[in-house]
Structure 1
Amino acid sequence: MHTVLPGGRRSWLRLAAAATVLSSHTFAAGAQTRTGAPVVRTTGGAVQGLALSSGVRAFRGIPFAAPPVRELRWKPPQPAATWQGVRLADRFADQCMQARIYSDMMFRNAGVSEDCLYLNVWAPADARPNAALPVLVYFYGGGFQAGDGSELRYDGESMAKRGIVVVTMSYRLGVFGFFSHPELTAESPQHASGDYGLMDQTAALRWVRDNVARFGGDPAKVTIAGESAGSMSVSAQMASPMAKGLFARAIGESGAVFSSSGPMATRARTEENGVRFAQAVGAPSLAALRALSATELLEMAGRQGMPRFGVNVDGYFFPQPPAEIYAAGKQARVPLLAGWNTEESSWRSLTAQSPTPDSARAVLARVFGERAGDAAQVYPAGSAAEATQSLVDLASDRFIAYSTWKWLDTHAATSAQPVYRYLYARPRPGAHGAVHSAEIEYALGNLATNHAYAWTPDDEKVSAAMQAYFANFIKTGDPNGAGLPAWPVGTAGPNGEVQRLRIDVEPHAEAEPRARYRFLERAFTSAQP
Structure 2
Amino acid sequence: MIKPYYFFLLLSISSLFSCGKKEAENLVSIESLRIDSGLISGKTDSSGLVKIFKGIPFAAPPLGELRWKAPQPVAAWEGVKACTENPAAPMQKPPVPFFAWSAEFLIPAEPISEDCLYLNVWTAAEKADEKRPVMVWIYGGGFNSGGNTVPLYDGEDLAKAGIVVVNLNYRVGMLGFLAHPELTAESPDQTSGNYGILDQIAALEWVKRNIAAFGGDPENVTIAGQSAGAFSVNALVVSPKAKGLFHKAIAQSGGMFNRGSGLVSGLQGAEERGKQLTDTLGISLGELRKIPADSLLKIQGRFGPVVDGKILPSVRQAFEEGKFSDVPLLTGWNADDRVSGNQPNTPEEFKANAKKQYGGRAGEYLQLFPAGNEVELEETLKTIGVLGFGFQNYTWARMQSEKGQDKAYVYYFTRVPPGEPNYGAFHSAEFSYAFHTLRNWNRPFEQADYALEKTMSSYWVNFVKTGNPNGEGIPEWPVFDPENPLVIELGAEVKTRALPYWEQMKFMESLNR
TM-score range, shorter chain: 0.7 to 0.9
Deviations 1:387-414 (CA, angstroms, capped at 9, x unpaired): 54433111211x3221222222222211
Tell me the equivalent position of 2:304: 310
Tell me the equivalent position of 2:438: 447
Looking at structure 2, the residues matched to 237 and 127 of structure 1 have their Cα atoms a distance apart, in angstroms, of 31
Counterpart amino acid of residue 477 in structure 1: G
TM-superposed CA distance for 1:114, in Å, is 0.9
The alignment partner of 1:135 has SS state of strand
Distance 1:428 1:385, change over 3 A: farther
Kindly indicate whether residue 424 of structure 2 is the aligned counterpart of residue 436 of structure 1: no
Q: Which among 390, 401, 404 is matched to residue 390 of structure 2?
A: 401
Q: Which among 509, 519, 524 is matched to residue 496 of structure 2?
A: 509
Looking at structure 2, the residues matched to 365 and 444 of structure 1 have their Cα atoms a distance apart, in angstroms, of 44
Counterpart amino acid of residue 425 in structure 2: A
Deviations 1:150-186 (CA, angstroms, capped at 9, x unpaired): 0011110010110110000110011101111111111
Looking at structure 2, the residues matched to 469 and 72 of structure 1 have their Cα atoms a distance apart, in angstroms, of 40
TM-superposed CA distance for 1:228, in Å, is 0.1
Paired residues for 1:63-78 under 5 Å:
63-78=57-72
Looking at structure 2, the residues matched to 432 and 99 of structure 1 have their Cα atoms a distance apart, in angstroms, of 24
TM-superposed CA distance for 1:229, in Å, is 0.2
TM-score under structure 2 normalisation? 0.88
TM-superposed CA distance for 1:237, in Å, is 0.5
What are the ranges of 5 or more consecutive residues in structure 1 without an aligned counterpart? 1-33, 301-305
Paired residues for 1:310-459 under 5 Å:
310-318=304-312, 320-345=313-338, 350-352=343-345, 368=358, 370-380=360-370, 388-397=378-387, 399-430=388-419, 431=422, 433-451=424-442, 453-459=443-449
Contact 1:67 1:115 in 2 (8 A): yes
Distance 1:262 1:206, change over 3 A: closer
TM-superposed CA distance for 1:63, in Å, is 0.1
TM-superposed CA distance for 1:271, in Å, is 0.6
Looking at structure 1, the residues matched to 473 and 373 of structure 2 have their Cα atoms a distance apart, in angstroms, of 40
The alignment partner of 1:65 has SS state of coil
Tell me the equivalent position of 1:45: 38
Tell me the equivalent position of 2:27: none
Contact 2:95 2:108 in 1 (8 A): no
Looking at structure 1, the residues matched to 212 and 172 of structure 2 have their Cα atoms a distance apart, in angstroms, of 29
The alignment partner of 2:273 has SS state of helix
The alignment partner of 2:221 has SS state of strand
TM-superposed CA distance for 1:368, in Å, is 4.5
Paired residues for 1:137-156 under 5 Å:
137-156=136-155
The alignment partner of 1:61 has SS state of strand
The alignment partner of 1:96 has SS state of coil
Kindly indicate whether residue 508 of structure 2 is the aligned counterpart of residue 520 of structure 1: yes
Tell me the equivalent position of 2:50: 56
TM-superposed CA distance for 1:258, in Å, is 2.2
Kindly indicate whether residue 91 of structure 2 is the aligned counterpart of residue 93 of structure 1: no
TM-superposed CA distance for 1:376, in Å, is 3.1
Counterpart amino acid of residue 411 in structure 2: Y
Looking at structure 2, the residues matched to 86 and 499 of structure 1 have their Cα atoms a distance apart, in angstroms, of 51
Counterpart amino acid of residue 412 in structure 2: L
Contact 1:43 1:210 in 2 (8 A): yes
Looking at structure 2, the residues matched to 348 and 288 of structure 1 have their Cα atoms a distance apart, in angstroms, of 35
Equivalent pairs counted in the alignment come to: 477
The alignment partner of 2:306 has SS state of coil
The alignment partner of 1:112 has SS state of coil
TM-superposed CA distance for 1:369, in Å, is 5.4
TM-superposed CA distance for 1:100, in Å, is 3.1
Distance 1:262 1:93, change over 3 A: closer
Contact 2:330 2:408 in 1 (8 A): yes
Distance 1:218 1:458, change over 3 A: same
Distance 1:307 1:359, change over 3 A: closer
Counterpart amino acid of residue 424 in structure 1: F
TM-superposed CA distance for 1:235, in Å, is 0.7
Deviations 1:485-520 (CA, angstroms, capped at 9, x unpaired): 11111023xxx2211111112111122242211101
Paired residues for 1:159-198 under 5 Å:
159-198=158-197
Looking at structure 2, the residues matched to 294 and 404 of structure 1 have their Cα atoms a distance apart, in angstroms, of 35
Percent identity for Structure 1 against Structure 2: 39
Looking at structure 1, the residues matched to 424 and 355 of structure 2 have their Cα atoms a distance apart, in angstroms, of 26
Looking at structure 2, the residues matched to 130 and 307 of structure 1 have their Cα atoms a distance apart, in angstroms, of 47
